[in-house]
Chains A and B, each alone.
Chain A
Amino acid sequence: MASQLVEKYMRTEHLPHIWCPGCGNGVIMHAVVRAIDKLELDKNKVCIVSGIGCSSRAAGYLDFNTIHTTHGRALAFATGIKLAKPELEVVVIAGDGDIAAIGGNHLIHAARRNVGMTVVVINNNIYGMTGGQYSPATPAGEFGTTAPYGNIDRPFDIAALAAGAGASFTARGTVYNPAQITSCIQKGILHKGFSLIECISVCPVYYGRKNKKGSVIDMIKWQRDNSIPVEKAGKLPPEELKGKIVTGVLSQATYPEYTEEYAKIIEKVSGGINYEQA
């Protein structure tokens, strides 16, 4: 018998999950569940969409309407679901490789259209499931199995990328502070429009071991010592923010929501006739 929250929102027959000891995915999945519980959403009105990767296994463990889709295309499927059933609360759970590399194009266009969904990005800085290849979120100079001499690519700032593409809500949190992730996800779900929450996770097995980051506890303590709240970061010079994690609600704006605009077009063209009932 697990905790009430886990019993209510997870498929406990599939637990324990396959994630490695200390993996941040479990903490973030718990935060998603806690946010949904705090908002008292109807389980049948929530749809969890995920792509491929370690993080995307979450759709299998969560007991909502769930769909496990193809690599990088979670946002495309989620857009379709939201357009067909705008009353659903669509939550996408995806990894950094899934959303910023393979699904990079879907990300910028879903953000540009401002489709009303919440995207929880689990950023562990590496492709964990396939054996530690470097991802677009691997910091420059770090190692991966495909970067044995160090990665020369500059990493993506996923939250800034989404905000630049037109996302109306972006936030960031770390696994060190699950309460902050929960509150960011809550705000993201309540926000009308495309909201993206970048959760900085830990991959102690592939990323940590390859880069000699120590144990999972050392990695979480590093997050604690290197995160700066966004309110404080605004007052600091850019040099001091190098290599730091800025956390909190990063940007918020009001743009027309896509499914609402689409409904207006249907209304305009059909002249108010409801063809579904006719």
Chain B
Amino acid sequence: MVKLVIVMKTLKTIDKWCKGCGICVEFCPKNVLGLIDDKVTVQNKEECIFCGQCELRCPDYAIFAEENNYEQAGFNARQ
């Protein structure tokens, strides 16, 4: 029996902590992010490759990739 683990990553932002410096927007390699009213917003969600550059560079911890693992039981590799 093999356990199948599905890793779901989602990009989260915290509006209250964001100061709108724009570092994440500038250094995002896929142009996923933008600033609206000086707050970071995820604009092209589909393009995100979860490289973690924004989380690494954000001085305010206002953006990060959240990881959720789901286990799918009953999956048999031989079938």
> Which residues on A are within 8 Å of B, measured CB to CB?
1-3, 6, 10, 15-17, 19-27, 30, 178-179, 204, 215-217, 220
Contacts and interface: CB of A to CB of B under 8 A. Distances in A.
A15 B20 CA distance: 15
Given A15-B61, A217-B22, A217-B26, A3 B55 contact: yes
B64 A3 contact: yes
B57 A16 contact: no
Bin the interface of chain B by size: 20 to 34
B60 interface: yes
B17 interface: yes
B21 interface: yes
Given A2-B17, A27-B57, 13 more contacts: A3-B61, A15-B60, A15-B61, A16-B16, A16-B62, A20-B19, A21-B19, A21-B20, A24-B59, A27-B59, A178-B57, A217-B22, A217-B23
Interface string B52-76: 0001111111101010000000000
Interface of B: 12, 14, 16-17, 19-23, 26-27, 55-62, 64, 66
Given A2-B64, A3-B64, A26 B14 contact: no
A86 B12 CA distance: 40
Contacts of A27: 56-59
A25 B59 CA distance: 7
Contacts of A1: 12
Contacts of A24: 59
B21 A22 contact: yes
Q: What are the 6 closest A-B residue pairs judged by CB atoms, nearest first?
A: A26-B59, A22-B21, A21-B19, A3-B64, A21-B21, A16-B17
Contacts of A3: 12, 55, 61, 64, 66
Nearest to B63: A3
Contacts of B23: 22, 216-217, 220
A30 B21 CA distance: 17
Contacts of A21: 19-21, 59
B61 A22 contact: no
Contacts of A19: 59
Nearest to B16: A16
A2 B22 CA distance: 19
